[in-house]
Amino acid sequence: MDYRIIADTSCDISEELEKKLRVLLVSFKIDIEDVEYVDDENLNLNEFKEAMKQTKNPIRTSCPSPYDYLEKLNQCEEDKILIVTISEILSGSNNAAVIAREEFLKEHPEKQVYIINSKSASAGQLSLLLKIDEIMKEELRFDEQVEKIEKAVEDNHTFFILENLDNLIKNGRIKKTTGLIATALNIRPIMKATREGEITIHEINRGFKKSLLKLAKEIGNIAENLEERILVISHADGLEKAQLLAEKAKELYKFKDILIVHTKGLATGYADIGGIVVGF
């Protein structure tokens, strides 16, 4: 292959896919109390999740540094390099990649490096990465590939449903009183990434299963050409829910494929235990 893809670990790519697509990952760091967890292949997810449960304080995250990105760029022998980051509204990861690219191109002006603001995260970021990999296999000029990639960003969709609102409350993403009332009333909203890459509420329902099934039914109204898309479902210890959604999607649509993956550390931290993220 004459291209290489780099992504930050907001992207919930499995180890198998990471190797198959030769993706280089740049790690987020997550602080819980006084312990720093690096979101890489050595992260002990069970220990991490237990620490999340025990703390009453918000978790703190730090994005990859320009040096982290530069280190991965220097590993690339390919002439075409794509960097796929979490939504630039949600993190400074994209900006760090921009700084790294500038430094890298000073030493390697012959290389072509393009940075993609996924306007997404988690399963949505993986969904986009899979589309990018397909586009890069097409026999097109690099500028034509980039144009198709940017269209894919705009046509990519991310939704999520949370079982537990604790971490959103702790991190001030929603007001404590609102979160407690929602929990008491068993409200499990369907949330989504906007076209700008922000997180917003899509629909409010009572009960996780109800939200899950309503999302499955609504997919057909949200996107076209489902037979050309891969449905990606990330879960944070919510395999049964992910499988239920996958089964319902198979009944209703003819996706090109359906992938179920576990969230990495960053998405686990924000989706929390039992959360589901969907990208297509």
pLDDT, tens digit, 9 for 90 and up, residues 7-56: 999 999 999 999 999 999 999 999 999 999 999 999 999 999 999 989 88
Q: Is the pLDDT of residue 82 over 70?
A: yes
3-state secondary structure the chain: CCEEEEEECCECCCHHHHHHCCCEEECCEEEECCEEEECCCCCCHHHHHHHHHHCCCCCEEECCCHHHHHHHHCCCCCCEEEEEECCCCCCCHHHHHHHHHHHHHHHCCCCEEEEEECCCCHHHHHHHHHHHHHHHCCCCCHHHHHHHHHHHHHCCCEEEECCCCHHHHHCCCCCHHHHHHHHHCCECCEEEECCCCCEEEEECCECHHHHHHHHHHHHHHHCCCHHHCEEEEEECCCHHHHHHHHHHHHHHCCCCEEEEEECCHHHHHHHCCCCEEEEC
Categorize the per-residue pLDDT at 183 as very low, low, confident or very high, splitting at 50, 70 and 90.
low
Stated pTM of the model? 0.92
Choices 3.40.50.10170, 3.50.50.60, 3.30.700.30, 3.30.460.10: CATH for 3-154: 3.40.50.10170
Q: Please state, rounded to an integer, the average pLDDT across all residues of the chain.
A: 92
pLDDT the model gives residue 259 = 98
Q: Mind listing the pLDDT tens digit for each residue in 223-271? A: 999 999 999 999 999 999 999 999 999 999 999 999 999 999 999 998 8
Q: Would you identify the CATH topology of the domain 158-279? A: Hypothetical Protein Tm841; Chain: A;domain 3 (3.30.1180)
Categorize the per-residue pLDDT at 174 as very low, low, confident or very high, splitting at 50, 70 and 90.
low
pLDDT the model gives residue 161 = 93
pLDDT the model gives residue 206 = 85
Q: Is the pLDDT of residue 71 over 70?
A: yes
Give 1 or 236, the one with higher predicted confidence: 236
Categorize the per-residue pLDDT at 177 as very low, low, confident or very high, splitting at 50, 70 and 90.
low
pLDDT the model gives residue 205 = 86
Give 47 or 166, the one with higher predicted confidence: 47
Q: Mind listing the pLDDT tens digit for each residue in 187-233? A: 788 889 998 988 888 888 888 999 999 999 999 999 999 999 999 99
As a whole number, mean pLDDT of residues 139-154 equals 97
Q: Domain extents for the chain?
A: 3-154, 158-279
